[in-house]
Amino acid sequence: MKVFEEDLKRVTQDLKELKLKNKTFFITGATGLVGSVLVKALAYANHHYDLKNGIVAQVRNPQKAEKVFDGYADITYCVGDVRDTISYSGDVDYVIHAASETKSRNMIDFPVETLWTALSGAKNLLDFAYKKKIEKMVFLSSMEAFGTVDGDQRTPEERLGYIDLRKVRSCYPESKRMIENMCVCYSSEYGVPVTIARLAQTFGAGVSSEDTRVFAQFAHSAMTGEDIVLHTTGTSCGNYVYTADAATAIFTLLKKGASGECYTVANETSSMQIKDMAALVANCVADGKIKVVIDVPEGDKFGYAPDVKLKLDASKLRSLGWKPQINLEESYKRLIKYWQEN
């Protein structure tokens, strides 16, 4: 069995245990990493276990969607942009808002668009959820919402750090904070049942081989035998969660998450400095055949987030029964195997 199918089978087991069947799911950002894994998991569960879930994927480009979901059946496409009023007229039980900017370069070059797309999109989804009288909505936030946190202790959801509002790159984490508060407000004022999933860096099987983010660059280096080149000192602490583990967390929150509450989604064993992750890939994934090179350019042309010492605390989510299965080294190995199989 291919590695991605193994993951989908595991996510399906969670869907069955959570009794998520005979429901309709509306998912934004459906062709993105997390959104596509969620859609594929639901379609896989329908095909192999007859869960009879309706899947509505909001997409901007239906041709791209057909390519992404080739081989998966029973997916309805709602073509549109999150910035526009949603036109879907059918019933909806669950909403997952996974649409988001992911390219750091765009956050530097187009900060106004990054900010406005995030805020207007979230408001549209919350209005849609209110109108449809849904059972639950989950908004996918980011660990960047924590900002810069001092100290090395584990950081719970309520302990937020500093975000420099004078920097345009702050448009991304500040928009996530604003939307989290928007969710709390809609829950309080309008009774919209919405839960926030504050995701760590999510990667693993399902990531495109064309992805250019740091973790993907490391994986490509391990595959090609090229040295890993860091464009920072690598002292920032990263926090990670495997793709299938993120999917099971989101489905868990649909059933068990409290409205107006935020839950960190992270594998706490995977918290480490970027330079240590690079060394792990070089030594354990590439079997010591490559080395780590540090080459820090002048300025901020790559648009990387500021250095953080953040170590996430996912105990609030674990208290709902969720448990991550794949550690960082295995995440890399499964990602590379996924690329080789596809």
Q: DSSP readout, 143-161?
A: GGGG-B--SSSEE-TT---
Highest mean pLDDT among 126-135, 152-161, 289-298: 126-135
- What is the per-residue pLDDT across 70-117, written as a single tens digit (0 to 9) for each? 999 999 999 999 999 998 999 999 999 999 998 888 999 999 999 999
Per-residue pLDDT, 235: 87
Q: Give the start-to-end residue ranges of the domains of the chain.
A: 3-204+240-267+310-326
* Distance (Å, whole) CA 338 – CA 342: 6
User: Strand runs (DSSP E) across the chain, as ranges?
Assistant: 24-28, 54-59, 75-79, 94-97, 136-142, 154-155, 194-199, 201-203, 228-230, 237-238, 240-242, 262-265, 272-273, 292-294, 311-312
> pLDDT tens-digit profile of 263-295?
999 999 999 999 999 999 999 999 999 999 988
Predicted confidence (pLDDT) at residue 59 exceeds the cutoff of 90 = yes
**Residues 214-242: b if buried by 16+ CB within 10 A, e if exposed:** bbbbbbbbbeeeeebebebebebbbbbbb
Tokens encoding 327: 């550690």
Helix (H, G, I), strand (E, B) or coil at 298: coil
Q: Which whole number is the average pLDDT over 295-305?
A: 65
Pick the more confident residue, 220 or 308: 220
pLDDT greater than 80 at residue 180: yes
What six digits make up the tokens of 318? 């674990």
- What is the spatial distance between Cα 126 and Cα 181, in angstroms, rounded to a whole number? 12
Q: Is the pLDDT of residue 302 over 60?
A: no
Taking 60 as the threshold, does the pLDDT of residue 301 lie above it? no
Cβ–Cβ < 8 Å for 124, 84: yes
Provide the pLDDT for residue 91. 97
- pLDDT above 70 covers what percent of the chain? 97
Band the pLDDT of 1: cuts 50, 70, 90.
confident
Region 169-176: mean pLDDT is 97
Residue 166: is its pLDDT beyond 60? yes
pLDDT in tens, 25-57: 999 999 999 999 999 999 999 999 999 999 999
What one-letter code names the amino acid at 82? V
* 263 within 8 A of 248, measured Cβ to Cβ: no
Average pLDDT over residues 327-342: 96
* pLDDT bracket for residue 217 (50, 70, 90): very high
State the pTM of this model: 0.94
Euclidean distance between CA atoms 278 and 222, whole angstroms: 10
Is the per-residue pLDDT at 308 higher than 80?
A: no
Residue 305 has pLDDT above 80, yes or no: no
Predicted pLDDT at 201: 95
Structure tokens at 56: 């509505």
Output Rg (C-alpha) for the chain, integer angstroms. 19
Pair 240, 312: CB distance under 8 Å:
no
Q: What is the DSSP letter of 226?
A: P
pLDDT given at position 232? 82
> Residue 179's closest CA among 107, 110, 97?
97
The CATH number of 3-204+240-267+310-326 is which of 3.40.30.10, 3.40.50.720, 3.40.640.10, 3.40.47.10?
Answer: 3.40.50.720
Q: What is the mean pLDDT of the chain?
A: 94
At 311, give phi and psi (nearest 5°). -125, 115
Cβ contact 107:171 at 8 Å: yes
77 with 88: CB under 8 angstroms?
no
45 has which bridge partners?
A: none
pLDDT of residue 318: 98
241 compared with 232, residue with greater pLDDT: 241
pLDDT confidence of residue 299 = 61
Query: 235 and 273 in contact (C-beta within 8 Å)?
Result: yes
Residue % of the chain over a pLDDT of 90: 88
pLDDT of residue 174: 97
